């Protein structure tokens, strides 16, 4: 469960306790007909809001896919966004179904012809009210998150922090080199991509599908053909994700030493792997 929905669930529990403690004030003005009207209308309202949220999100996904087609560097960032949003959407769906279920249970125990479980009315009604309000609020919060104009920057920064954290742990005992500026790192990465593309062209196995020169396709091809080893492909993918996140995040002055080490290692590994592959290939020609 996401942190935001954990907080929302906690607020729902607090609201339930509040409604139970102050039920005389909250429910004092509600007669039988009003109770039936409120809890019969709530599922329709929640369902309508949820349906509009799903519909709008489907169109939003289509728009995001169009952005990826125009700018391949957004691929991982938008994919990460979509993954997080889908997880939230699953949690919202659960909350919506629970709130609707509690509304129906409330209607059932308040039926005028034959009331049942009268001793639990207050608790169930309070839970139903809290979950209904929580479901509506969760939909609105989700919409605000989806349309956030800075969502790409936030996700990019999250990817950067994650990669830097993981890579720092891996290279704590390695020799450090001087930190470089962002522009120097990007130039180094571009040279790495050019080397990978040159290697692929030299092999005579250039993909016709990579018309926009998306580097992740180059990496996939180089790895599948055995030109580079899995370790090199993994390093390349880390650098590619890091570079793309840098481009779409807030500008930074310096790149950590660990990322420069990784870039240098990947350049060396690419050169070594490709030379070995071409040497073996020449033996069979």
The DSSP 8-state label assigned to residue 176 in this structure reads P
**The overall pTM is greater than 0.85:** no
Could you tell me which residues come within 8 angstroms of residue 154 by beta carbon, excluding any fewer than 6 positions away? 148
Length of the chain: 285
* Number of separate helices (H) and strands (E) present in the chain: 10, 2
Query: For residue range 45-93, what is the model confidence (pLDDT) as tens digits?
Result: 999 999 999 999 999 999 999 998 888 889 889 999 999 999 999 999 9
Distance (Å) of CA 222 to CA 38, 75, 182, 229, 272: 62, 19, 27, 9, 13
Closest CA to 131 of 30, 33, 8: 8
Q: Are 131 and 98 in contact (CB under 8 A)?
A: yes
Give the separation between CA 240 and CA 259, rounded to whole angstroms: 11
* Burial letters 69-100, b for 16+ CB under 10 A, else e: eebbbbbbbbebbbeebeebbebbeebbebbb
- Which strand (E) or helix (H) includes residue 255? strand 254-255
Query: For residue range 239-273, what is the model confidence (pLDDT) as tens digits?
Result: 999 999 999 998 777 888 888 899 999 999 999 99
| % of the chain at pLDDT higher than 90 | 45
Distance (Å) of CA 37 to CA 51, 107, 250: 21, 9, 51
Spans of all domains in the chain:
3-148, 154-284
Task: Give, for all 285 residues of the chain, the pLDDT tens digit.
Answer: 777 778 888 999 999 998 888 877 767 777 777 878 888 999 999 999 999 999 999 999 999 999 988 888 898 899 999 999 999 999 999 999 999 999 999 888 877 666 555 667 888 889 999 999 999 999 999 999 999 989 999 999 999 999 988 876 554 444 444 557 888 899 999 999 888 888 888 887 655 555 444 566 678 888 888 889 999 999 999 999 999 999 999 877 788 888 889 999 999 999 999 999 888 878 775
Q: Are 61 and 81 in contact (CB under 8 A)?
A: no
DSSP string covering 70-130, please?
A: H-GGGHHHHHHHHHHHHHHHHHHHHHHHHHHHHHHHHHHHT-SSS---GGGHHHHHHHHHH
Give the separation between CA 85 and CA 145, rounded to whole angstroms: 9
Could you tell me which residues come within 8 angstroms of residue 241 by beta carbon, excluding any fewer than 6 positions away? 76, 159, 163
């Amino acid at each position: 469960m996401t942190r935001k929905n954990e907080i929302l669930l906690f607020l729902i529990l607090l609201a339930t306790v509040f409604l139970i403690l102050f039920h005389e004030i909250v429910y004092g003005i509600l007669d039988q007909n009003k109770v039936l009207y409120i809890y019969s209308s709530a599922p329709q309202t929640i369902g309508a809001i949820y349906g509009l949220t799903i519909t709008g999100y489907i169109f939003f996904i289509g728009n995001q896919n169009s952005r990826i087609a125009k700018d391949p560097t957004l691929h991982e960032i938008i994919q990460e966004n979509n993954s997080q949003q889908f997880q939230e959407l699953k949690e919202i769906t659960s909350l919506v179904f629970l709130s609707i279920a509690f509304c129906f249970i409330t209607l059932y125990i308040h039926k005028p012809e034959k009331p049942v479980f009268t001793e639990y009315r207050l608790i169930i009604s309070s839970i139903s009210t809290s979950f209904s309000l929580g479901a509506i609020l969760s939909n609105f919060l989700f919409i605000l998150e989806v349309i956030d104009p800075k969502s790409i920057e936030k996700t990019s920064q999250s990817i950067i922090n994650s990669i830097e954290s993981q890579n720092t742990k891996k290279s704590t005992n390695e020799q450090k080199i001087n930190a470089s500026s962002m522009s120097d790192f990007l130039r180094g990465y571009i040279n790495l991509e050019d080397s990978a593309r040159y290697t692929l062209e030299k092999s005579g196995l250039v993909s016709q599908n990579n018309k926009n020169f998306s580097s992740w396709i180059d990496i996939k091809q180089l790895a599948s053909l055995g030109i580079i080893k899995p370790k090199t492909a993994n390093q390349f993918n880390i650098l590619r994700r890091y570079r793309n996140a840098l481009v779409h995040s807030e500008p930074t002055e310096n790149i950590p030493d660990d990322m420069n080490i990784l870039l240098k290692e990947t350049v060396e590994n690419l050169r070594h792997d490709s030379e070995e592959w071409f040497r073996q290939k020449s033996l069979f020609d």
